[in-house]
Amino acid sequence: MPPTARPLAYRPGLDAVRAVAILLVVVGHWTLPSFPMSLMGSMTFFVLSGYFISGIVWKQEVYVGAPGRWGRRLGVFYLRRLVRTLPPYYLSLALGFALPLVTLHQYPGWFLVPVSNLLFYRLQHWGEGVGHYWTMAVDEQFYLLWPVLLAVVPRRVRWLTLVAAAGLIFRIAWSTWVRPNLAFALLPGCLDLFAAGAILRHAEQLPMVRRLARFQWVALAWLAWAALWAALYLTGSHYIWQLIYASAGCLPAALTLNWALHQATRPAAENRLLTALRWVGQRSYGCYLYHLLLPVFYQRAVFRLFPLAGEHGASSRAFWLSPTMLVVVLLPLLLLMAAGSWRWLEAPLNRWKERLAYS
């Protein structure tokens, strides 16, 4: 384990970051604004995965070739990941089959494994109500790869930076010589985000890193990322943006997590907003799983309730399908579904997962 790493512990501030990230993803996908707000959330989640998984791999020595019975510890690591992520995921898939969602019925095997990111890359488009599963598939593949990669990559910032650079190089090379679109949906195309989380985990206690734990640096970094998007968007350079947005987002996402990690924990009574965000953050996985299923169900219900019979029907349908009404109506329902998933499925699974000891 690197000398700068601390034992993993519950960090309340990170749940607040999860809440903000999932709300950015949900509102971005529901309202489809020109500004890529959903990317801010998805990038933050990938950096967060890199931070947590790297910490577990180093602290528990579950990388390939670690001292002692590394094979058993690695098996426990994989089992704990499967217990945490797959049962809620399969429940959401069952609901998607029941809707029914066409893509799930046409390509069920790609989602059951899961390798839906490879399916979307092959099809070159996202399926109805299932497009968000690509990030979950990339995460699962990341869990398989990372203990192997960290076994051969020295625990130094410069080597992890090379891994991050490999993500950008892959997107450029693959888009140039193989296929120009959706290279970011493949696992190598996300290496820079995962590596940024590993770098933060390795260096979070360095004095320089602690000095960067200020909100003004977070705001400045995201503003610079937004300015880069605006410059490329206004000049029509959308293709360049697809290649570089993740690498450009590594710094603001990592600074956001760094800021949250170094915030003092306060009693719940002192900050009700933070308490609410932590509540949402704990249930962010359920929000993620169901947030594209709900609009499909809602749109079908609106089309059934307001058939296009005259001007009144058309205006009523347009009103209820407007971005504002989608958020107003569906967000409480999404939080309710996520709360049920947490209480009756995810929290019990977490308690059972903790019984799976590494040693």
Summarised one tens digit per residue, pLDDT across range 279-309 is 999 999 999 999 999 999 999 999 988 887 6
- Euclidean distance between CA atoms 326 and 335, whole angstroms: 14
Rounded to two decimals, the pTM is 0.94
pLDDT the model gives residue 309: 61
What is the helix (H) or strand (E) element at residue 172, kind and residue range? helix 157-177
Rounded average pLDDT over 206-221: 96
Q: What is the pLDDT of residues 237-248, one digit of tens each?
A: 999 999 999 999
Report the alpha-carbon distance of residue 325 to residue 218 in Å, rounded: 31
pLDDT digits 0-9 by tens, 35-87: 999 999 999 999 999 999 999 999 999 998 999 999 999 999 999 999 999 99
Q: Do 124 and 118 touch, CB atoms closer than 8 A?
A: no
| pLDDT tens digits along 254-279 | 999 999 998 876 555 557 888 899 99
For the chain, what are the domain ranges? 22-353
Residue with tokens 């009700």: 272
138, 257, 260 from 202: Cα distances, Å: 22, 13, 16
Tell me which residue has tokens 């710094």.
Answer: 251
How far is Cα 307 from Cα 316, in angstroms, rounded to an integer? 9
- The closest alpha carbon to 208, from 200, 216, 198, 197, belongs to 200
DSSP state of 99: T
CB-based contact 75:147 (threshold 8 Å): no
CA distances from residue 258 to 24, 124, 212 in whole angstroms, order as listed: 19, 35, 8
- Label residue 345 exposed, middle or buried (CB < 10 Å: 0-12, 13-18, 19+): middle
Q: What is the pLDDT of residue 179?
A: 94
The pLDDT score that the predictor gives to residue 310 is 62
- Split at pLDDT 50, 70, 90, the class of 11 is confident
